[in-house]
Amino acid sequence: MFVGTNLTNIRILHGYTRKQLADMLHITEQSVWQYENGYMSPKMEVVNNLKRIFSVKSKYFYTEDLLSKNGKSNIHQCHIAYRAEIINSAQKTYSEATNIEFISSFLRVIEKNLHFPINEIVILREKIIEYITNSNEDRIIKIQKAAIIAREFLELNNQSNFNLLFMLEKKGVFIFEKAIGEKIDAYSLWSEDDRPYIMLGNLKKSAARRNFDLAHELGHLLLHYKVEFSSLDNKLHRTHEQEANIFAGAFLLPEKEFAEDFKSLAKRSNPDSYIDLKKKWLVSIQALAYRAYSLGLLDYQQYRYFNIKINQKGYKIIEPLDDKIKVIKPGKVRSILQLLFDNNYLSLNNLLDTLMVDIEFLSRLLGIEIEFFKKYLQMSEKEFTISDLNFNIK
């Protein structure tokens, strides 16, 4: 029997409305509604098209899917913190929450084969909440000190941000990347089982801007735990974004060390003077100057002239070194799968059968290149050869 909720879940995961999916299937929107609500089962031709569109197996639509097998919802969409210029639509938020829900369910499947280490980011979160709750200092000061506490906890030295993504993953954050959209740089949230997620956009990214996205989202995870972002008005939304930006600046550019580096700059209003600092700290030229301005190292006129030159040089779009510094990709989940596959704790074929999906589905969901899965698929497709014969020749 066709399971309509499976279609609903995977449609929302891909961000399609019923109308959009109906157009892709060359059927009516009413038909899709009937399939999803159990009033009609699609013909095999439609099921085959659904398989192709979503990269799943036929049985995906006739048994419990990944979400149903793993019980109640583990993700509250109201807790998604976006790094974006605007408050996002309810449809977009629902789709991204479903995306994390699928990832969370996937990780539960993986956990049957191994135990994840202690999530240290939870310890850091509680440490930050305790400090902010008990301190009588100004909110801005508390945010800046929280950034110092976080940097020390993550064991980052005060001379670079080279290992930021690695240390976040090591300490417990699950980081992924996907094409979120033109107007969204990243988002983050905590699951109900206290697992922190950061989703990075993969459009028009540079290593420096990726680091700021990571630090910004870490700020949300630590400063804005359980905040219902979907209920915030525009003013409060901007306030929370500004707090995450303040955290990111203080986190990425420790005051003492950054101020020492800044003294060496000859022409502080010239964006090109910041190139060496960008190479060292892996932070954008614009973020470097803003941090300098916030610390009083640049006065208003110097910062104003700097921004005029930024616009004239086109650095709002692309900065020097953006195409030279390697963009580091998330690696934790890829390494977990590699460990399981290489040591035969789990085969890719068994995983695909369990999930009832194709490798294209996994590649999109996890943001891992499809070639990674193709390699293990080919390894499992071993042909029978003479060496496999156990005959004894008389």
- Domains detected in the chain: 1-63 (1.10.260.40), 120-313 (no CATH), 346-388 (no CATH)
Q: What is the distance between the alpha carbons of residues 309 and 324, in angstroms, rounded to a whole number?
A: 22
What's residue 36's pLDDT? 96
What's residue 85's pLDDT? 56
What's residue 387's pLDDT? 54
Task: Work out the end-to-end distance of the chain between its first and last CA atoms, rounded to an integer number of angstroms.
Answer: 55
Report the DSSP beta bridge partners of residue 357: 56
What SS3 state is found at 189? strand
Alpha carbon 288 to its chain centroid, in Å, reads: 24
Sign for the CA dihedral angle at 144, 150, 151, 153 comes to: positive
DSSP code string of 33-88: HHHHTTS-PPPHHHHHHHHHHHTB-GGGGGS--HHHHT-S----GGG-EEEESSPP
Q: Are 32 and 18 in contact (CB under 8 A)?
A: yes
| Cα-based distances in Å from 83 to 86, 147, 300 | 9, 18, 26
Element (H, E) at 198: strand 196-201
Q: Are 211 and 283 in contact (CB under 8 A)?
A: yes
Sign for the CA dihedral angle at 7, 9, 15, 18 comes to: positive
| Cα-based distances in Å from 116 to 120, 197, 273, 317 | 11, 15, 45, 40
Tens of pLDDT along the chain (394 residues) come to 999 999 999 999 999 999 999 999 999 999 999 999 999 999 999 999 999 999 999 899 999 888 887 755 688 888 888 776 555 567 788 889 999 999 999 999 998 888 888 899 999 999 999 999 999 999 999 999 999 999 999 999 999 999 999 999 999 999 999 988 777 889 999 999 999 999 998 876 799 999 999 999 999 999 999 999 888 888 999 999 999 999 999 999 999 999 999 999 989 999 999 999 999 999 999 999 999 999 999 999 999 999 999 999 999 999 999 999 999 999 999 999 999 999 999 999 999 999 999 999 999 999 999 999 999 987 765 554 555 545 555 5
Sign for the CA dihedral angle at 351, 353, 354, 356 comes to: positive
